């Protein structure tokens, strides 16, 4: 019998202490990032790694057409979406499962592969959802510090795995650092992790990467059927508010995940918009250039001002402010600019989302007011 718990047990667990802790954590982050009545409408939002350009024109056109079917359940659209994603990845549609954002995919993985007596291995820091959900299902979280260059320490993560490891989480590129592990490193890692453990590779920021050493983990699935890849339409596709994610994996792993998907977890509006986006061949390359050019400009500007910046392959960067970021975050908010939250293990590093060029210029101007320039490193 699998240690995965049912939805009913999971719902019950949410009422327990671990569920309360998770809820408190999520509410705290929501309060820090969501629109608030005391914030002006012209606030610059550089705090949630969102796409300020929004969905493409073709996606918006499709979105408008969705009102014709808004009164019907989207079963046929879900099938069409899975087929389109299967074609996109060159796999059978039975190897695709949809989620209400990739966050649901992460929760599905925890409920499918974890439970009491199991453990989840992840980097520290990384996107927190998997380890928070692990607490809800009574699994133990094992956190492995990043390397000196702020990347996943895959050898140490592999060594941390044992017969009780149900899930290993690799965010590639990593949130919040923006760093990658290479294709060769990930392949060697998959060789070392026990086949009984599911390797969940979160590729939410896949579309921004330019480093030629990077490779999607989708190519590992044939050799390593314990690899599952999570993707999202929230980032480069600009649909964070519409909520659509998905996973690619072996038929067995996807079948296990699908047991814990909520019914009709993708709505007609996002499915029609996502189908149009996926068919728009120019969308991803164009936005990749736009974001990455702006990111390079910001990094060069911060470096000229004597600030350390972690090399990033995403639509955000981390800047070392030299002291605790909490008062710095408040100071930016007073200037109507929202920036990322504090990550305790990188307490002096400020995460900043890449917005439009004019938004980044406003950020740089505010940064200069809040923090005096330092002498550039030789």
Report, as an integer, the average pLDDT of 354-378: 86
Mean pLDDT of all residues belonging to the chain: 90
Phi, psi angles (nearest 5°) of residue 11: -60, -40
User: Is residue 20 pLDDT above 80, yes or no?
Assistant: no
Helical pair 129-136 and 7-14, crossing angle rounded to 10 deg: 100
Instruction: Specify the higher pLDDT residue, 3 or 234.
Output: 234
pLDDT tens profile 111-162: 999 999 999 999 999 999 999 999 999 999 999 999 999 999 999 999 999 9
Residues of the chain with CATH 3.90.1150.10: 30-53+283-370
Instruction: Specify the higher pLDDT residue, 2 or 70.
Output: 70
- What per-residue confidence (pLDDT) applies to 376? 47
- What per-residue confidence (pLDDT) applies to 202? 98
Q: How far apart are CA 81 and CA 255, in angstroms?
A: 17
Q: How far apart are CA 95 and CA 72, in angstroms?
A: 26
Determine how many CB atoms are found less than 10 A away from the CB of residue 194.
14
For the domain bounded by 57-279, which CATH number is listed? 3.40.640.10
- What per-residue confidence (pLDDT) applies to 375? 53
User: Is residue 71 pLDDT above 90, yes or no?
Assistant: no
pLDDT tens profile 229-274: 999 999 999 999 999 999 999 999 999 999 999 988 999 999 999 9
pLDDT tens profile 267-293: 999 999 999 999 999 999 999 999 999
- What per-residue confidence (pLDDT) applies to 31? 39
- What per-residue confidence (pLDDT) applies to 135? 95
CATH fold for domain 30-53+283-370: 3.90.1150
Tally helices (H) and strands (E) across the chain.
13, 11
Confidence class for position 27, pLDDT limits 50, 70, 90: very low
- What per-residue confidence (pLDDT) applies to 77? 95
pLDDT tens profile 39-50: 677 899 999 999
- Token pair, residue 220, equals 């590992």
Cα dihedral across residues 255, 238, 202, 116: positive or negative: negative
User: Is residue 28 pLDDT above 80, yes or no?
Assistant: no
pLDDT tens profile 180-214: 999 999 999 999 999 999 999 999 999 999 999 99
- What per-residue confidence (pLDDT) applies to 38? 60
Residues of the chain with CATH 3.40.640.10: 57-279
């Amino acid at each position: 019998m699998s240690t995965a718990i049912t939805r009913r047990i999971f719902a019950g667990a949410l009422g327990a202490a671990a569920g309360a802790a998770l809820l408190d954590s999520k509410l705290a982050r929501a309060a820090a990032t969501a629109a608030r009545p005391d914030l002006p409408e012209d606030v610059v939002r550089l705090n949630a790694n969102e796409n300020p350009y929004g969905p493409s024109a073709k996606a918006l056109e499709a979105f408008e057409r969705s009102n014709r079917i808004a009164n019907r359940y989207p079963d046929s659209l879900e099938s069409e979406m899975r087929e389109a994603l299967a074609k996109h990845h060159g796999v059978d549609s039975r190897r695709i499962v949809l989620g209400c954002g990739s966050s649901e995919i992460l929760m599905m993985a925890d409920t499918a592969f974890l439970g009491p007596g199991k453990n989840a291995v992840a980097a520290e820091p990384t996107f927190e959802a998997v380890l928070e959900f692990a607490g809800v299902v009574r699994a133990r979280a094992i956190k492995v510090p990043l390397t000196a260059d702020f990347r996943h320490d895959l050898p140490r993560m592999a060594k941390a795995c044992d017969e009780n490891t149900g899930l290993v989480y690799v965010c590639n590129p990593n949130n919040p650092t923006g760093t990658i592990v290479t294709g060769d490193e990930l392949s060697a890692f998959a060789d070392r992790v026990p086949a009984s453990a599911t390797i969940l590779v979160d590729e939410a920021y896949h579309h921004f990467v330019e480093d030629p050493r990077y490779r999607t983990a989708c190519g590992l699935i044939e050799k390593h059927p314990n690899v599952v890849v999570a993707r999202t339409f929230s980032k480069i596709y600009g649909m964070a508010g519409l909520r659509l994610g998905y996973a690619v994996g072996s038929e067995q792993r996807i079948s296990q995940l699908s047991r814990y998907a909520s019914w009709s977890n993708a709505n007609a509006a996002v499915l029609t918009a996502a189908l149009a986006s996926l068919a728009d061949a120019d969308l991803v390359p164009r936005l990749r250039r736009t974001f990455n050019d702006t990111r390079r400009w910001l990094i060069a500007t911060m470096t000229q001002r004597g600030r350390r910046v972690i090399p990033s392959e995403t639509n955000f960067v981390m800047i070392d402010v030299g002291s605790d970021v909490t008062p710095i975050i408040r100071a930016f908010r007073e200037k109507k600019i929202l920036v990322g939250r504090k990550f305790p293990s990188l307490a002096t590093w400020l995460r900043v989302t890449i917005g439009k060029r004019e938004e980044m210029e406003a950020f740089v101007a505010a940064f200069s007011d809040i923090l005096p320039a330092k002498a550039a490193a030789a």
